[in-house]
């Protein structure tokens, strides 16, 4: 299922392959967020053109949007997306956090509207969660956690989600890789609550394993907040179970009040206790610096909303740094977004910055599409280069060149 092809001599970085029913995922890999069985603004053909190998869809939001009847009739994510490559689903555990204590602690943005909403209007909600600044105001959470599961009170209606239901939903969705139900904690939780939550997450991991009846790959989740002993304990416990892979919940986010250095420290505590022969996924983290640091720490796959969310707002990632194409300085710019980029927007269509600027200013839907294609392509090319550097025995050199280039821009 997972094979390591080459390890880096100076770090824990490794290049490998994950075998799934819908093809091989070459690692390190960047997983594209497709919340509602769709990457917003793109067709399946657009997505394939970016070089994306794998997409992650959101279990909670699909369940709430489809309903039980819709879920029963759902043809599966691959058919719904027209996507013949690998797909992951999360467990719904992040929504336990983001719609609950994150709101009460002021560490996340708004939760979804308290009513059923059509898919077309609902698809951007996950992108918005966690996009606020650290100063987000406190709100009333709609989630209450028990040892058995979580209760969502949405629009006066109560919804129950537990390990067994999460696994059942993910099996009905038909992803290649699914994730055990867990409870992420807030950076503002104290040690006592984080320990209590970890015990709950470990119990849910056992229940998730027992509930699975499919041949999907199931990942367990390492939690433990920013506490060294809890992180090590969680890594050892999850590693002792027959999961096909390991996901790690990180606490770094612009809105969650932690730091990149803290997350890397959490990885240093966790990864040495994880088995070498299983893939490791870092949940919800994926800036350029994060990816290089994560790969060096031994992470194989990443998912993050940054490429798609920022594209729709006119922020383009380039080899020289991030640019806001809506700024007036690009109005008459006849150069492509990134001269060294091989994406279809830059290399094939040779789209000028001035044209992209005009499309965004006129709110033309094509603006978001072209920007999204470019951004996803950028991150796919980034991990491809990292993989090549590991295979060639020059990861440290590649990392240094990229980081120095970005620092000196």
Whether the Cβ atoms of residue 230 and residue 193 lie closer than 8 Å to each other: no
273's tokens: 């206790």
| The predicted structure's pLDDT at residue 133 | 28
In this structure, is residue 393 part of a structural domain?
Answer: no
Whether the Cβ atoms of residue 294 and residue 260 lie closer than 8 Å to each other: no
Mean per-residue pLDDT, 343-359: 98
In this structure, is residue 409 part of a structural domain?
Answer: no
| Upstream peptide bond of 45 is cis (omega within 30 degrees of 0) | no
Share of the chain residues as helix, strand and coil, in percent rounded to the nearest 5: 45, 20, 40
Contacts of 68 by beta carbon, 8 Å cutoff, 6+ apart: none
Mean per-residue pLDDT, 125-138: 33
| The predicted structure's pLDDT at residue 406 | 67
| The predicted structure's pLDDT at residue 347 | 97
Is 148 assigned a catalytic role? no
Query: Phi and psi (nearest 5°) for 352?
Result: -80, 150
Q: What is the rounded distance in angstroms from the CA atom of residue 291 to the CA atom of residue 281?
A: 11
Using the 8-state DSSP alphabet, how is residue 330 labeled?
Answer: G
| SS3 state of residue 257 | coil
In this structure, is residue 100 part of a structural domain?
Answer: yes
In this structure, is residue 342 part of a structural domain?
Answer: no
| The predicted structure's pLDDT at residue 75 | 96
| The predicted structure's pLDDT at residue 112 | 32
Mean per-residue pLDDT, 78-84: 97
Answer left, alpha or beta for residue 23, where phi above 0 means left and psi between -120 and 50 means alpha: left
pLDDT digits (tens, 9 = 90+) for 235-289: 999 999 999 999 999 754 433 345 678 888 999 999 999 999 999 999 999 899 9
Q: Mean pLDDT check: name the lowest of 131-145, 176-190, 374-388.
A: 131-145
> Is the model's pLDDT at 2 over the cut of 70?
yes
Contacts of 97 by beta carbon, 8 Å cutoff, 6+ apart: 108, 183, 184, 185, 186
Query: Phi and psi (nearest 5°) for 2?
Result: -130, 130
Is 303 assigned a catalytic role? yes
In this structure, is residue 178 part of a structural domain?
Answer: yes
Rg of the chain on CA atoms, in Å: 20
Mean per-residue pLDDT, 285-305: 95
**Among 17, 21, 28, which Cα is nearest to 390's?**
28
CATH classification at residue 14: 3.20.20.105
**Among 381, 312, 324, 321, which Cα is nearest to 347's?**
381
Q: What is the largest CA-CA distance in the chain?
A: 60
Mean per-residue pLDDT, 310-317: 98
pLDDT digits (tens, 9 = 90+) for 385-408: 999 999 999 999 999 998 877 655
For the chain, the domain total comes to 1
Contacts of 394 by beta carbon, 8 Å cutoff, 6+ apart: none
In this structure, is residue 214 part of a structural domain?
Answer: yes
In this structure, is residue 20 part of a structural domain?
Answer: yes
| SS3 state of residue 14 | strand
In this structure, is residue 108 part of a structural domain?
Answer: yes
Q: Which of 162, 182, 290, 303 is catalytic?
A: 303
Please report how many Cα atoms fall inside a 13 Å half-sphere around the Cα of residue 351, on the Cβ side: 22
Confidence of residue 125 (pLDDT cuts 50, 70, 90): very low
| The predicted structure's pLDDT at residue 326 | 98
The residue segments making up the domain with residue 94 are 2-304
Q: Which of 90, 162, 338, 381 is catalytic?
A: 90
């Amino acid at each position: 299922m997972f094979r390591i092809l080459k390890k880096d001599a100076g770090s824990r970085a490794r290049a490998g392959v994950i075998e799934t029913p819908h093809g091989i995922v070459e690692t390190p890999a960047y997983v594209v967020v497709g919340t509602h069985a769709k990457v917003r603004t793109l067709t399946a053909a657009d997505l394939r053109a970016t070089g994306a190998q794998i997409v992650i869809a959101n279990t909670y939001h699909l369940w709430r949007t489809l309903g039980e009847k819709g879920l029963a009739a759902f043809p599966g994510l691959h058919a719904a997306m027209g996507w013949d490559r690998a797909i992951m689903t999360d467990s719904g555990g992040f929504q336990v956090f983001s719609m609950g204590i994150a709101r009460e602690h002021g560490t996340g943005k708004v939760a979804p509207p308290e009513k059923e909403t059509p898919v077309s209007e609902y698809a951007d909600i996950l992108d918005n969660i966690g996009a606020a600044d650290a100063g987000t105001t406190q709100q009333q959470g709609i989630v209450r956690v028990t040892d058995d599961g979580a209760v969502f009170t949405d629009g006066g209606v109560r919804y129950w989600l537990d390990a067994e239901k999460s696994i059942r939903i993910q099996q009905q969705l038909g992803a290649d890789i699914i994730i055990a139900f867990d409870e992420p904690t807030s950076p503002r939780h104290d040690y006592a609550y984080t320990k209590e939550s970890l015990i709950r997450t470990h119990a849910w991991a056992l229940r998730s394993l027992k509930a699975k009846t499919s041949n999907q790959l199931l990942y367990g989740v390492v939690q433990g907040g920013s506490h060294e002993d809890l992180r090590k304990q969680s890594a050892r416990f999850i590693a002792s179970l027959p999961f096909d892979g390991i996901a790690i919940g990180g606490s770094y986010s612009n809105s969650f009040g932690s730091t990149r250095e803290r997350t890397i420290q959490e990885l240093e505590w966790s990864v040495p206790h994880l088995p070498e022969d299983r893939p490791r996924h870092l949940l919800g983290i994926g800036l350029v610096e994060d990816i290089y640091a994560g790969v060096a720490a031994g992470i194989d796959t990443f998912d993050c909303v940054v490429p798609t969310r920022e594209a729709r707002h006119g922020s383009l990632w380039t080899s020289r740094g991030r640019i806001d194409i809506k700024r007036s300085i690009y109005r008459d710019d006849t150069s492509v977004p990134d001269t060294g980029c091989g994406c279809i927007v830059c290399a094939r269509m040779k789209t000028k910055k001035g044209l992209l600027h005009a499309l965004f200013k006129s709110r033309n839907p094509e603006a978001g599409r072209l920007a999204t294609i470019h951004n996803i392509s950028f991150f796919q090319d980034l991990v491809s280069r990292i993989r090549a550097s590991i295979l060639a025995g020059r990861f440290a050199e590649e990392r240094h060149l990229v980081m120095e280039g970005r620092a000196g821009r």
